[in-house]
């Protein structure tokens, strides 16, 4: 059987504070985050509706507000370590570790953040069917070395943009989306993505996808 172009995608994200008191600056903190994303062939009867890919992303990071207030806005700095894996073995295994910094500027009803990262080296030995090695030595060629995120809130609507780029390889990805209120903590969203890196298994395949769904936010 063949994989369907239409599938279901779901994501669960959580963030847990690890400190309660200020560490170095007023309002700073250390937190643990975890994100799980799955791509589910829900409508594929021939293959018994398998999960095509699941990505696991734990991270630990330090966050602090900054005194720098350009244009009357607010800034924040995050320094973190992140692991991302699809939990599979041998030739289907994909994983990488990176250190990152995120600088965020927010004012009124919009925000902009810039997040460069450095991939922790894993050596040049490539995974083979017989022996494990570096699952994806060229992942930064496609995922790039930074991410630019923008958000703008207009009434009850929120518009978002995410872009990644490797200027040397001329590869990257872009995602644009919109959320709208439904009921209580339920929001609807419309999302379009194009390029590389939506999932680890497809990091080196350029794709265009559009999605319509429901998000449950701020549960706690």
Residues noted as catalytic: 83, 85
- Measured CA to CA, the distance from residue 65 to residue 26 in angstroms comes to 8
- Measured CA to CA, the distance from residue 108 to residue 73 in angstroms comes to 8
- Measured CA to CA, the distance from residue 103 to residue 20 in angstroms comes to 22
- Measured CA to CA, the distance from residue 8 to residue 198 in angstroms comes to 14
Query: What is the DSSP secondary structure assignment for residue 218, as one 8-state letter?
Result: -
**154 touches 173 (CB < 8 A):** no
Residue 58's nearest CA partner among 38, 79, 82, 37 is 82
**167 touches 194 (CB < 8 A):** no
> Which residues are 107's β-sheet partners?
110
* Sign of the torsion angle spanned by Cα atoms 205, 208, 212, 215: positive
- Measured CA to CA, the distance from residue 154 to residue 118 in angstroms comes to 34
| Integer CA distances (angstroms), 174 to 14, 63, 65, 78, 96, in order | 24, 26, 28, 22, 20
């Amino acid at each position: 059987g063949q994989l369907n172009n239409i599938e279901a995608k779901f994501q669960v994200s959580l963030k847990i504070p690890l400190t309660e008191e200020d560490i170095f600056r007023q309002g700073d903190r250390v937190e643990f985050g975890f994100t799980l994303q799955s791509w589910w062939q829900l409508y594929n009867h021939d293959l018994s509706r398998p999960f095509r890919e699941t990505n696991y992303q734990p991270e630990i990071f330090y966050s602090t507000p900054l005194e720098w207030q350009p244009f009357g806005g607010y800034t924040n700095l995050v320094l973190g370590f992140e692991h991302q894996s699809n939990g599979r073995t041998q030739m289907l295994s994909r994983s990488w570790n990176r250190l990152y910094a995120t600088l965020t500027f927010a004012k009124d009803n919009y925000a902009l953040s810039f997040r460069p990262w450095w991939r922790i080296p894993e050596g040049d030995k490539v995974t083979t069917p017989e022996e494990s090695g570096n699952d994806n030595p060229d992942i930064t060629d496609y995922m790039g070395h930074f991410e630019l995120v923008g958000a703008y809130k207009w009434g009850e609507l929120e518009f978002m943009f995410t872009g990644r780029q490797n200027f040397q390889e001329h590869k990257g990805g872009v995602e644009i989306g919109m959320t709208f209120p439904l009921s209580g903590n339920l929001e609807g969203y419309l999302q379009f993505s194009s390029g590389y890196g939506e999932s680890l298994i497809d990091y080196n395949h350029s794709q265009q996808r559009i999605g319509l769904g429901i998000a449950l936010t701020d549960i706690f």
